[in-house]
Amino acid sequence: MSTNGAMGKGPRSRGRPPNPELRTAKHGRMLNAAMDLFVDRGYEHVTVEQIARAAGQSKGAFYWYFKDKEDCLQQIVRGWAQKMDIALTQAITNRDTRSRERLLSISDFRKWSDQDFQRFVMLLNGMVHSRSSTVREMALNMAGDWARNGFTMIRQLAQESAREAGWTPQQLAKFDFDAWTLCYISCYNGLYQMLSRGIGGTNMTPDRIADAIHAFFIHPVVAREELEQRQKAAQ
């Protein structure tokens, strides 16, 4: 009898695998259970037995799907990285809408404020402070890759939106879109950090946050002419 599963050295290789649909469902429950435990207790304080029990499965079943606990964490991170890349790419590259509308869409906090996504952000934050260098590196690599890809796409979209809004070549050349994009992304990161710690109170609804982001970051880009007219009128 193989001892790989019992020792956590690799996935089980013997026996008949379950029905594919059932296997997929159990795999999903195991991933969800693991993520909840990693967020609530911290990666180091969670055992394979606890993950399996929370998913309503046996420890042996865990090794049908994962080599070990680290492999389980990697699958969670890879899955969410893929979801985020797809969502961001679709929102930014949707040529059926104007750049302005796409920028407003991805900046809508309501699209990124569901509980599952917020808990994933909390998971990444916990991983960054893990005692395991492997776990820390996993989190930093994932966050870095997403930030770099997102930075490039969002900066380009902001520039396109500004052109659509009637910015002159001189205005486009003068404005620091790199700094704007960095502040924009940092705003979201800070929001999730604060919300995960309960800062801001219960009245910080997604609607209010979305309105603030649009007013501070997006409206000055997509409605620059209107903004300049208001400033002149105020003078």
Neighbours of 210 (CB within 10 A): 19
Give the model's confidence band at 232: pLDDT under 50 very low, under 70 low, under 90 confident, else very high.
Answer: low
Alpha-carbon torsion, ordered 90, 188, 181, 218, to 10 deg: 80
In the chain the domains, ranked by start, together with CATH numbers, are 4-8+11-65 (1.10.10.60), 84-234 (no CATH)
Tens-place pLDDT, residues 84-113: 888 888 878 887 788 988 998 888 888 888
What's the whole-number mean pLDDT along residues 153-160? 92
Q: How far apart are CA 44 and CA 37, in angstroms?
A: 10
Buried b (16+ CB within 10 A) or exposed e, 94-110: eeeeebbebbbebbbbe
The reported pTM is 0.72
Q: For residue 106, how far is the Cα from the chain centroid?
A: 13
Q: Which of 160, 132, 163 is nearest to 225 (CA)?
A: 163
DSSP string, 138-170: HHHHHHHHHHHHHHHHHHHHHHHHHHHTT--HH
Task: Find where tokens 């990693």 sit.
Answer: 38
Containing 89, the helix (H) or strand (E) segment is: helix 69-93
User: Cβ(70)–Cβ(18) under 8 Å?
Assistant: no
Give the model's confidence band at 82: pLDDT under 50 very low, under 70 low, under 90 confident, else very high.
Answer: confident
- In this predicted structure, the answer to whether residue 9 has a pLDDT above a threshold of 50 is no
Q: How far apart are CA 118 and CA 193, in angstroms?
A: 9
Buried b (16+ CB within 10 A) or exposed e, 132-141: eeebeebbee
- CB-facing half-sphere around the CA of 162: CA atoms within 13 A: 21
